[in-house]
Each structure stands twice: as structure tokens, then as C-alpha cells.
A = this chain, B = another copy of it.
Amino acid sequence: MSLDPARLTPMANAIRALSMDAVQAANSGHPGMPMGMADVATVLWSKYLKFDPKAPHWADRDRFVLSAGHGSMLIYSLLHLSGYAHPTMDEIANFRQLGSPCAGHPENFLLDGVEATTGPLGQGLAMAVGMAIAERHLNAEFGSDLVDHRTWIIAGDGCLMEGVNHEAIGLAGHLGLGRLIVLWDDNNITIDGSIELSTSEDIEARYRAAGWHTVRCDGHDYADIQSAIDEALADGRPSLVACKTIIGKGAPNKQGTSATHGAALGEAEVAAARETLGWEYPPFVVPDEILGHWRKTGERGADVRGKWEERLSASDKGAELSRRMAGDLPAGFSLADYIAKLYADPKKVATRKASEMALEVINGLLPETIGGSADLTGSNNTKTSQTHGMTVGDYSGRYVYYGIREFGMAAAMNGMALHGGVIPYGGTFLIFSDYCRNAIRMAALQEIRSIFVLTHDSIGLGEDGPTHQPVEQVMSLRLIPNLNVYRPADAVETAECWQLALKDKDTPSVLALTRQNLPQLRSEGDMLSARGGYRLRAARAGRKVVLVASGSEVELACAVADSLEGQGIGADVVSMPCTELFEAQDAAYKAGLLPADVLKVSIEAGVTHGWERYTGLDGLNIGLNRFGASAPAEALFEKFGFSADQIVPKILDKLNG
């Protein structure tokens, strides 16, 4: 398609006009980036991006990620102009208003064509790395006839300054993801002003140090943009295209300054920009001729997609690829047989080891899993016999050595899940969920199936001490909406939790797993963990107490119950592997498990704040409301009160008090 400026300039100006008008109407938003990157985006969508607005879920489409998500009007403009069903012009006119899919930042769950929710800086790029990994992996498995696409990113200075960028580009460079192209909006401006206020970095040199190809262009010169992208395409490495732009280009009095970054231009400046751009049309009107040019860009991909559909139909791998891209597990997937074996032959193992045992079965049944660890493979127990390392030479590997890059890992996992066709799981120590917490949140917000395997889940970690001992992490992860936090008590629950995590397409999961060995407490029952909490043991004497515990403390709760029962005090033990699933049960089930008229006692080796939800103001919460210490695990559990000998008297006091 011709890149004649006479044709492209009005197309780019359509983006500028929609962006400044929508922000002005909302009196809120970021006009600077869309106006600055309009030319680059127009070239990309007109000539390079492989997409078909009529089939936004086409598996082999290029992925386009607006990592600088605050510039959301750029992608809303592109989607509308190129012919996606949404956003409509009305929806654009209602930018940032309740009910419009044109949210302040682009949300993957609101609009087709928004491949990732972006806004938290750096993560769009880091998720794109995961998309590119998924693409190469599926290409290795399904061949170039079926999987052969690129991942494009528009990123700003903010994305590049964030630490997660370092992790992401290090991973991409190491894995040689040559089909990844970052278009950097090199405009010298951040919110606080010139980038010179805060940075002196040679960004291109840094990217090259990470194994990337870099090239520069004038981001307002169509031919130069084209030649830079062509150079990027020709290079085997991932590419950074530094597009020198003027932020807010077209707004004559404000362009090139941070005044255009994050606020409406104002009526006068919008009018002046219309003049400057020669844009004579009212807000939210794009003349037919310009719209026609844009719609043609949206029609480029139809033929390519049609041929791809034919190849898919003809391929003996087509059905399998379609299944995977739909996110469906193979029919009948279940760990029931494995759990039956555990019932027959109980195992006393750490739940991290139990997780490995379950994964050995899962990875055999599900070819779509891709495991990994942030340099704790042997500790997280995330590698099984089916998963060899993914390398530049062999993308068929189902195991990613993420390096010491927790945030980059979690974001890349999210990108894989967003891409589809694979189910990512990855491990680190639970404490380092702190390092990737916002990516875990972004998995929840984006409603995707990322599975975080977080081991060493309490002071049971032992000698490494308080920097490595989670205390508040389990409870704090429970606070994230749409995230299932599993803390299984034994090998059986671990398998059940894995099955639940895998079957839930729209909710990410955390598996909090022990370093230390735990006895197998379950020898019967069918997927009891699906209820979130369940009665593991019923009181024998008259029930006066219900003990609620999770993970490694369920064993302790059983010991406490034994002691109480020995004194004639009946005590239920409720195992609570997942409070979120328990919350979803009906009121009768919950009241039956945690009745009003008995003393309810929670036991968990973490902060107690939050357990009052189940134990009430009259209950007793056994936990750890301080940082841990460095010592062997047994010594720590004893020191911090986690023994039946120390807990039982507290319960007796409560009962008698």
C-alpha cells in the first residue's frame, strides 16, 4: 500500500483530531502521545500490521500492544477507523465516561483489538515479550503455515525507565525474539517535564547491550518510518525503533511540552490545532474519503486470513490449535486417577514437591503448559520430565529459565495467557510476589489464566530469615479481586488446587506451597477443595470449637483438635485452601461449616488481620503479626507459638473466659 503523504497525513490527522476532541470532551486524558505517534501508527497499520477487524480473534494476527496505555485514544482511533465493530464514534465521544468501552486506559476485556490492558508502565512491553514467546513456541509446534506473526509495541519513555523493562528486554534479547518490534515514542518529555530532569541514559546502547537491534527514524517522516521498520524486519534480533517525535504534534502552542501529556488542550488550543492541521471537520466527524482510506487498511488482512483459514482446515493440527487457542482443556481432563493413587499410597511431602508430582501428570496430559521459574527451579519444583528449556535454537521447549526477573516473568506469563494457545505457570518464592505484585493484579484484572507457583510460603522457610519469610503475603494476595489464592494442606489438596486453577479460564491463581514436608491428611473425598473450605474432621465429643486453618497449619489444627478431644471438648477441623472459593458458597454451607454458636479459631502462620471474617470478634486468631527470624523451621514454629501445647491453653481460656 502506498505511503504517499498526501494520503497518510489526513489519516494521521484523523487520529489527532479524534484524540484531542475526545480528551477535550472528557476534560481528562492524554492527547500528547496519540498526536505525537499518529504518523508512526498510521504507517504501521497501513502497511505492516497483519490484522482483520472482521475477525479480531484470528489466531495468527499480529499482536499490537499500546504499552504507553495512557495514550489510549490512539488505539481507540485506530480500531474505529480501521473498521472494528467497536468502539463506535459514540463510544469515542463518551471517552472516559461510565459505560463507554473507551476507558481511560485500554482494557482487554472491553474491546476486541486491545490485546492487553495497559497503563501500569512497562508492563505492556513485558507482556508483549510473553506474546512473542507464545508465538515462537506455537510456531515450533504447529509450523509457519499456521503460526507466523509479529508482536508490535508502542512504548514511551516511562515504559523504558521502569525496572520491568530491563527484565523484559533482557529476556527477549536472550531468547532472540526477532519478531518483536518496539516503536519507542522518543519525545523527550515525561510528566514532570523534560526527561533531562531524571535520566541521562543512552537507551539504544542499553537495548543493544541486551541483544537487541536498534534503529532511529523521524517519527513524522513516513518514508523514514518505513525504512526504519524495514530495517527492523530484516534483522534477526528483537528491534527497538526509536521514533523521534514531537509530543502533541499539531497543537501549535503546546506541542513539544509536558502540557500536552496528561490534560485536555483547552478549547482555544484545540481550535488552533484544527487550523494547524487543516482539519476542518467538527468533533467526531471523519470525512468519508479519509475514513475510506482507513477502512482499506482494515481490509488488507482479509485475504491473508482467508488463506490461513484454508490452511487451518486442511491441517491435521488445525483442530488441536483451535482447541488450544480457545483455551479449552482436553475433554475429560482430570487428576482423579492421580489422586486415587495418593489415597492408596499416601505421601508425606512438601506441597512444593506435591505440586511437582501433580505437574508431572498435568504436563503429560496438557501439551499447552509452559513452565518456568525466576531462577529457583530446584526450589519451586516447577520442572518436570516433559519440559525442556526453551532456547533460541529450540522454541519447542516448554520451560523458560526466566532468570532473576520476577516481575518480568509474571508479566511475560500474562502475555502468554493473553496470546492464547498456552497455559503459563511460573515459580518464585512467595515473598517475591512483592516484586511482581502488580503483574499478578494485572492477571486478575485481565481475567486470564496465569498460574503463579509461590513456594516457601511461611516461616517454615526457616533459616533464610525475615527477608525471605512471607508473613503478610498470603492474606494480602487474597485481597486482590478475581484472584484465587490456594494454600493446600497436603498432596491431595495440592492436586485438587492445581486442577481448579487449570480449569478456570478467567481467573488467575496463586499456589502458596511449603518448603517443609507435610503429612497427607486426606484419604477420601472428591474435589473437596472446590468448596474453598470444608470439614476435614468432625468433632467426636460435643462440638464446642471449630478450628479453621490453611496449608501447613491444618496438620497443627488436627493436633490441637486431638488434644481438645482428649479433654472432652469437641472440635471440628476445617481446611480452608481457598477463601475466595469458600466465599462463593451459599450461606447455608458457610454457616454449617462455621456455626454461630461455637468458638471459632483460625490458625495460619501469617498475619491474623482478615481472619476475623470467619472467627468474629469473639473468636481466636492464631498467627504471626510480626516479621519472622532466622532459625530452623521447627524452632521458629515453636518460638512463635505454633504448637498444640501453646494453642490449646489459649482455647481453653477463651472457652472458660
Contact = CB atoms under 8 A, between A and B. Distances in A.
B211 A389 contact: no
Interface in A516-538: none
- For A198, A403, A629, the residue with the greatest tally of chain B CB atoms inside 10 Å of its CB is A198
A143 interface: no
A365 interface: no
A545 to B, nearest CB: 16
A475 interface: yes
Contact count band on A: 35 or more
Interface stretch (A1-9, A31-39, A95-103, A288-296): A95-103
A465 B104 contact: yes
B206 A120 contact: no
Interface string A189-227: 011100101111111011011110000000000000000
A636 interface: yes
A615 to B, nearest CB: 8
B161 A162 contact: no
Interface stretch (A165-173, A489-497, A504-512): A165-173
Contact of A375 (B98, B198, B609): B198
A174 B191 contact: no
Contacts of A87: none
A612 B616 contact: yes
A198 B174 contact: yes
A105 B198 contact: no
B402 A198 contact: yes
Interface in A409-451: 431-432, 434-435, 437-438, 441-442, 444-445
B609 A613 contact: yes
B107 A466 contact: yes
B481 A625 contact: yes
Nearest to A373: B192
A610 interface: yes
Q: With a 10 A CB-CB cut-off, give which of A200, A209, A404, A442 has the most chain B CB atoms.
A: A404
A163 interface: yes
A151 B97 CA distance: 51
Nearest to A434: B438
A119 interface: yes
Contacts of A100: 630
27 contacts: A28-B462, A97-B630, A97-B635, A98-B629, A98-B639, A99-B631, A104-B463, A107-B630, A119-B464, A158-B375, A162-B405, A163-B163, A170-B201, A173-B200, A174-B200, A190-B404, A191-B377, A198-B404, A199-B403, A200-B210, A205-B206, A209-B209, A445-B467, A471-B481, A481-B625, A482-B626, A616-B616
